[in-house]
């Protein structure tokens, strides 16, 4: 068999899009990734909700939809290729909001005198909204014409909300919906009206109709709200493809093994074992790969980080060690010249 060249060994999986996010991290997505369909939904004027287990990449996908640099890549090869998309966006944190009115104003008290000022969402609408219904309708018609002719620049106005299901009051998320359902926005604090088509891009750990077990702050996604979104479930099944797209071929065998280990651990957790470690997410798996790729840790040492939350006094410690040893022990060729098998 011919020996592979270093260039071949370092070759990254083809057909992978590198997308920017708000944290300036790269999202590596294939053409079949839900974020591609979600980009089309945004252009068409829809609202998008990514849901699934923590660490699977919901937030990073929602974030990618805020960046103009991504749309040419995402829409390439689709029916919308040729349209220039430059979103105008704002991020709203629903967790600390106590009342629906706080979406539109903030109350300040100075020297015993109270006053009201426009909150972030109100400022966004006042700045970008149209002064009349006629101006708004003309803008929307121009947008439709550009999409039909596949020529021109459109500017979706996006409200980005991470953890949409984590709110203090159950009714708050319902109150928020009027901002993306109604195009006419009236502000009682100053008597001004603006017309704007707000779209929401959000993430949630919850399924529609119920909160997720273990997330005490989650209120769940009301079915009436869910009906206003195009919902995409982000599955853990794409762990392998994502990681292989990020790292050279020489690490792919390790990626196959560690993902297989994680799936077995998750299976044990579903049966009630290893409850003390909470969850294993993409963030933790990626960290293990980084330890091998950049710090030259042994595969066994890196994989052991997944279960370091189980104490030596715990009766499951032996089970955890045996499980990891089965995948990365010396008999499985995990040892390398850089390190011993110390967990730390």
> Buried b vs exposed e over 254-267: b needs ≥16 C-beta within 10 Å?
bbebbbebbeebee
Q: Is the pLDDT higher at 85 or at 13?
A: 85
Q: Looking at residues 307-328, what average pLDDT do you find? A: 91
Task: Band the pLDDT of 344: cuts 50, 70, 90.
Answer: very low
Q: Using the predicted structure, report yes or no on whether residue 243 has a pLDDT greater than 70.
A: yes
Q: How many CB atoms lie within 10 A of CB 195?
A: 20
pTM of the shown model = 0.73
Q: What distance in Å separates the CA atoms of residue 42 and residue 203, rounded to the nearest whole number?
A: 15
Q: Using the predicted structure, report yes or no on whether residue 235 has a pLDDT greater than 80.
A: no
Q: Looking at residues 253-271, what average pLDDT do you find? A: 91
* pLDDT (0 to 100) of residue 334: 39
| Positive/negative CA dihedral, 58, 21, 85, 17 | negative
Q: What is the average pLDDT score of the chain?
A: 83
Q: What distance in Å separates the CA atoms of residue 199 and residue 336, rounded to the nearest whole number?
A: 52
Range with lowest mean pLDDT among 15-24, 176-185, 286-295, 303-312:
15-24
* pLDDT (0 to 100) of residue 219: 59
Percent of the chain with pLDDT over 90: 48
35-85 pLDDT per residue, tens: 999 999 999 999 999 988 776 788 889 999 999 999 999 999 999 999 999
Q: Using the predicted structure, report yes or no on whether residue 304 has a pLDDT greater than 70.
A: yes
**Segment 71-74 long-range contacts (CB within 8 Å, at least 24 positions apart):** 71/39, 71/43, 73/17, 73/18, 73/19, 74/17, 74/19, 74/35, 74/36, 74/39
* pLDDT (0 to 100) of residue 73: 94
* pLDDT (0 to 100) of residue 67: 94
Percent of the chain with pLDDT over 70: 82
User: Residue 140 contacts by C-beta under 8 Å, 6 or more apart in sequence?
Assistant: 197
Task: Band the pLDDT of 170: cuts 50, 70, 90.
Answer: low
Assess contact for 268 and 276: CB atoms under 8 A.
no
Range with lowest mean pLDDT among 56-65, 178-187, 315-324, 330-339:
330-339
Q: Using the predicted structure, report yes or no on whether residue 14 has a pLDDT greater than 60.
A: no
Per DSSP, what are the bridge partners of residue 113?
110
> Buried b vs exposed e over 165-177: b needs ≥16 C-beta within 10 Å?
bbbeeeebbebbb
* pLDDT (0 to 100) of residue 57: 82
Helix, strand, or coil (residue 76): coil
Q: What distance in Å separates the CA atoms of residue 127 and residue 197, rounded to the nearest whole number?
A: 13
Range with lowest mean pLDDT among 31-40, 147-156, 185-194:
185-194
Q: What distance in Å separates the CA atoms of residue 103 and residue 118, rounded to the nearest whole number?
A: 9
* pLDDT (0 to 100) of residue 109: 64
């Amino acid at each position: 068999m011919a020996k592979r060249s270093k260039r071949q060994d370092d070759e990254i999986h083809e057909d992978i899009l590198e997308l920017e996010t708000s944290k300036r991290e790269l999202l590596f997505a294939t053409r079949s990734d839900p974020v591609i369909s979600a980009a089309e939904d945004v252009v068409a004027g829809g609202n998008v909700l990514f849901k699934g287990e923590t660490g699977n990449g919901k937030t990073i996908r929602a974030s990618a939809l805020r960046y103009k640099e991504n749309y040419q890549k995402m829409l390439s090869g689709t029916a919308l290729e040729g349209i220039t998309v430059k979103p105008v966006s704002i991020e709203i944190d629903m967790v600390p909001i106590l009342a629906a009115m706080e979406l539109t104003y903030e109350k300040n008290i100075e020297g015993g005198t109270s006053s009201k000022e426009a909150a972030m969402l109100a400022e966004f609408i006042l700045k970008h909204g149209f002064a009349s219904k006629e101006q708004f309708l003309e803008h929307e018609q121009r947008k439709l014409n550009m999409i039909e002719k596949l020529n021109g620049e459109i500017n979706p106005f996006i409200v980005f909300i991470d953890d949409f299901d984590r709110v203090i009051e159950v009714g708050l998320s319902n109150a928020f919906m009027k901002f993306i359902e109604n195009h006419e926005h009236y502000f009682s604090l100053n008597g001004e009206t603006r017309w704007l088509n707000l779209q929401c891009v959000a993430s949630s750990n919850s399924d529609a109709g119920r909160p997720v077990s273990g997330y005490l702050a989650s209120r769940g996604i009301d079915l009436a709200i869910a009906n206003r979104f195009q919902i995409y479930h982000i599955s853990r099944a794409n762990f392998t493809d994502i990681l292989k797209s990020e790292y050279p071929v020489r690490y792919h065998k390790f990626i196959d093994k560690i993902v297989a280990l994680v799936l077995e651990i998750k299976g044990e957790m579903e049966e009630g074992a290893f409850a003390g470690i909470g969850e294993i997410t993409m963030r933790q798996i990626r960290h293990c790969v980084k330890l091998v790729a950049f710090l030259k840790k042994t595969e066994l040492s890196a994989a052991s980080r997944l279960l370091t939350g189980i104490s030596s006094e715990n009766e499951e410690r032996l089970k955890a060690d045996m499980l990891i040893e089965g995948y990365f022990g010396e008999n499985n060729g995990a040892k390398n010249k850089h390190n011993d098998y110390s967990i730390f």
